[in-house]
Structure 1
Amino acid sequence: MPKTIRELADELGVSKQAIWQKIKRDASIDLRQFTSTKGNTVYVDVDGQKAIKAMFSNNSSTRYRQQKDDVDDNKKDAVDGQDEVKFLRNLVSEIQSEKKELHKLLDQQQRLALQDKQLLEEYKAEIKELKSLTMPTQGSEKDDSVENIVKEPQKQNKKWWYFGRRM
């Protein structure tokens, strides 16, 4: 029973153009001996159908192998993708642990800075207390003696270079 190219294409799961291209490429098939035309419709007889199906069955086994290879490649890609996901998860967990460690170090640094500031304030307060204890009150005799002691070395310091010279 003759079939149209469209019916044959639907049966094989390919397009009409694919069948025409296959027939044109394969020189062993003479289209005229297997076809008949009624109007614009081309009919393929049983022998032509077998020849075309054989061409596509050879191609379909090749296509099956290619699909199988594609599936294997997809599986490899999936395994590679899973490995990549595991790697990225490990990387993220490492980064998070480093972040926690940095936060601890920052907290320690801030505590030490605060302790240093408090110690500095205490030292300043002690220095002020010591200065207030050692500073003499105005009008006392000690005040005059301290000023005399301070003035005498200044006079000597101003004239030290005169020792080597004669006047």
Structure 2
Amino acid sequence: MSKNVKTIKELADELGTNKTRISRIINKNSIPTQKIKNKIVLEDNSVSLIRQYFKNETQQQNETQQQDETQQQNETQQQNETQQQNETQQQNETQQQNETVSILRTELDKAHSHIEKLSNLLDQQQRLALQDKKLLEEYKSEINELKSLKMPQEDKKENQSQEEVQTIKKQMEALNDKIKGQEQLNNQVSKKWYQFWK
């Protein structure tokens, strides 16, 4: 083959790509080719066009790849930022939850101590109530004892006064009986005298 022509394979090897890509560039851009001994060959003119297209396409691919990489980096960065935001939010929520738990524990401790104080006060109140009840019972028993000590004297006085009243009643009854008896005698005597005068 002459130095002025190259096969698709030679050009692909030179450009570091495969025959399919070179064939695609040829078909896409309608680059002229020749057939020598059942092989497709390219003249210098066509080779330079293919090189230019390849360079442009590679550049576009590189730009696209760079854009894709940039986009991917941006997406990754956004994902990282979102993840950091989520982690920060989770940390804040965890911190708030810990603070809430701490506050609730403090309040619970206060409530427990308050309940304990109230229990102690209630216990003291119950003890005082029992002491008051015992004292009241002791006072009642003492009052009953004092009453029982006074009652016999009063009973004796009452019994004495009742006995005196009964004695006086008996004496009055006896006097009434005597008076009645005297009246009957007087009536009988007056009747006798009356008959005597008749």
**TM-score category of the 2 structures, normalised to the smaller one:** 0.5 to 0.7
Between Structure 1 and Structure 2, how many residues are aligned? 137
If asked which structure has higher relative contact order (CA below 8 Å, sep 6+), I would say 1
When the two structures are superposed, what TM-score results if normalisation uses the length of structure 1?
0.61
CA distance in 2, matches of 1:109, 1:134: 36
For the aligned residue pairs, the C-alpha RMSD in angstroms reads 3.2
2:178 alignment counterpart? none
Map Cα deviations across residues 60-112 of structure 1 (whole Å, 9 max, x no partner). 33234323433543454455355435534542442343133123202212211
Which is worse superposed, 60-69 or 80-89?
A: 80-89
Aligned-residue identity in percent? 20
Aligned to 1:91: 89
Q: Residues 99-118 of structure 1 correspond to what in structure 2 (within 5 A)? A: 99-118=97-116
Determine the structure 1 residue equivalent to 2:28: 25
More helix, by proportion: 2
Which runs of 5 or more residues in structure 1 are unaligned? 144-167
In structure 1, what is the equivalent of residue 36 of structure 2? Answer: 36
- Runs of at least 5 residues in structure 2 that lack an aligned partner in the other structure: 145-198
Cα deviation digits, residues 2-51 of structure 1 (max 9, x gap)? 44323322322322211122222223x233x3x4245xx64444333223
> Equivalent of 1:121, from 119, 122, 144?
119
The TM-score normalised by the length of structure 2 is: 0.53
CA contact (8 A) 1:36 1:44 kept: no
CA contact (8 A) 2:32 2:42 kept: no
Higher-Rg structure is: 2
**What's 2:141 paired with?**
140
Q: Report the equivalent of 1:7.
A: 10
